[in-house]
C-alpha cells in the first residue's frame, strides 16, 4: 500500500497543500520520499486522493492532489464507541482498536469504579494523545475517516446526553439487569456502545442508563477483559448487523 498522509485542509484535485510538521517529517525523514514520489492524501472526512510530492524538506513537504480515489468503505451502521477510561495506558489500545474496526466516533468516559479522575485526564492532555492514536490507526487500516475522539466526561453526563436511536450498555454475566442478546435487536442506523471500567458498572449506573433508554446487552456468558470489550462488542455487532461482503472498491 502507498504511504497515506493526513491533510485536513485537502479539498480538491489540482490543489497544492503544505503538510503539517508531523506529516512532513513522516514523509521526508521516516519514509525518505522525494520530489516526484506518489502518496495517498486523505482529509480525515472520507476523501482520498493520489498526490505527488512537489517540494521536500525535513519539516515542510508540499504535495499536489491528483485524482480522487474510492476510499475504504465505512460501516453501514454508525458505531459510536463509549469506553470507560482504563488504568494506565490501556485506553490507548481501546481507541486504536475502535478506529481500526470502524468506529465513527469515540466518547471516553469516567465511571464510578474508574480508577482515573477527569482532572488527571485533562491535565495530561489525554484527548490529544488519543486523537494522535486515532490518526495513526486510520492510516494503518486504510480508512479515509479519522473518527473524532472526544474529551472524557462523566458517565452520568454521557448516559443523559447520548441521542443515537439505539444506546447499548454492555453488561457482564453477573449483572442482574434484564439483558438482551444482540441478535434480538434489528440493525440500527447508529448505535452507541458503552463499555464499563475494570470493576464493572455500579447498580446505580445500570439503573440510570436504563431509565434514560439504554438497552442492557450481554455478549455470551463469559467475562472478558475490560480492555478487550470494545473490540469484542464491535466485532459482534458487525458480524450480526453489517453486510459481510467486502466493498467492491477496496483493494
Given the rule CB under 8 A, which residues bind a second copy? Answer: 1, 72-73, 75, 96-97, 100-102, 140-143, 173-174, 179, 181-184, 218-225, 228, 231-233, 235-240, 242, 244-247, 250-251
Residue 151 to residues 107, 131, 225: CA-CA distances in angstroms? 7, 10, 23
Shortest distance in whole angstroms from residue 141 CB to a second copy: 4
Nearer to a second copy, 138 or 159 (CB): 138
Nearer to a second copy, 213 or 220 (CB): 220
Shortest distance in whole angstroms from residue 121 CB to a second copy: 24
Nearer to a second copy, 36 or 244 (CB): 244
- Closest by alpha carbon to 235, among 55, 93, 81? 81
Taking phi first (over 0 means left), then psi (-120 to 50 degrees means alpha), and beta for anything else, what does residue 187 get?
Answer: beta
Say which residues have a Cβ less than 8 Å from residue 206's Cβ, sequence separation at least 6: 169, 171, 175, 177, 216
Nearer to a second copy, 118 or 224 (CB): 224
Read off the C-alpha cell for 123: 491535565
Shortest distance in whole angstroms from residue 53 CB to a second copy: 24
Count Cα neighbours of 237 within 13 Å in the Cβ-side half-sphere: 31
Bridge-based pairing of strands 166-170 and 215-217 is parallel
The DSSP string of 112-156 is TT-SS-HHHHHHTTHHHHHHHHHHHHHHHHT-SB---BPPPEEHH
Shortest distance in whole angstroms from residue 80 CB to a second copy: 17
Nearer to a second copy, 119 or 184 (CB): 184
Shortest distance in whole angstroms from residue 21 CB to a second copy: 27
Shortest distance in whole angstroms from residue 123 CB to a second copy: 29
Nearer to a second copy, 28 or 197 (CB): 197
Contact 226, 196 (CB under 8 A): yes
Amino acid at each position: 500500500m502507498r504511504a497515506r498522509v493526513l491533510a485536513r485542509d485537502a479539498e480538491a484535485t489540482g490543489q497544492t497543500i503544505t503538510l503539517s510538521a508531523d506529516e512532513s517529517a513522516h514523509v521526508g525523514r521516516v519514509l525518505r520520499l522525494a520530489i516526484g514520489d506518489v502518496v495517498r492524501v486523505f482529509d480525515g472526512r472520507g476523501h482520498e486522493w493520489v498526490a505527488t510530492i512537489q517540494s521536500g524538506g525535513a519539516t515542510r513537504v508540499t504535495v499536489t492532489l491528483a485524482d480522487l480515489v474510492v476510499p475504504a468503505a465505512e460501516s453501514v451502521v454508525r458505531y459510536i464507541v463509549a469506553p470507560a477510561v482504563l488504568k494506565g495506558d490501556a485506553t490507548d489500545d481501546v481507541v486504536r482498536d475502535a478506529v481500526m474496526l470502524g468506529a465513527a466516533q469515540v466518547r471516553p468516559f469516567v465511571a464510578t469504579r474508574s480508577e482515573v479522575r477527569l482532572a488527571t485526564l485533562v491535565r495530561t492532555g489525554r484527548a490529544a494523545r488519543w486523537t494522535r492514536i486515532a490518526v495513526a490507526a486510520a492510516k494503518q487500516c486504510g480508512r479515509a475517516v479519522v473518527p473524532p475522539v472526544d474529551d472524557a466526561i462523566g458517565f452520568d453526563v454521557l448516559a443523559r446526553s447520548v441521542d443515537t436511536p439505539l444506546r447499548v450498555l454492555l453488561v457482564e454475566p453477573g449483572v442482574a439487569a434484564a439483558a438482551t442478546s444482540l441478535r434480538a435487536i434489528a440493525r440500527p442506523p447508529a448505535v452507541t456502545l458503552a463499555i464499563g471500567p475494570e470493576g464493572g458498572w455500579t447498580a446505580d449506573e445500570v439503573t440510570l442508563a436504563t431509565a434514560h433508554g439504554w438497552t442492557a446487552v450481554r455478549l455470551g456468558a463469559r467475562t472478558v477483559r475490560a480492555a478487550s470489550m470494545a473490540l469484542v462488542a464491535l466485532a459482534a455487532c458487525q458480524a450480526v448487523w453489517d453486510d459481510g461482503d467486502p466493498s467492491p472498491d477496496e483493494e
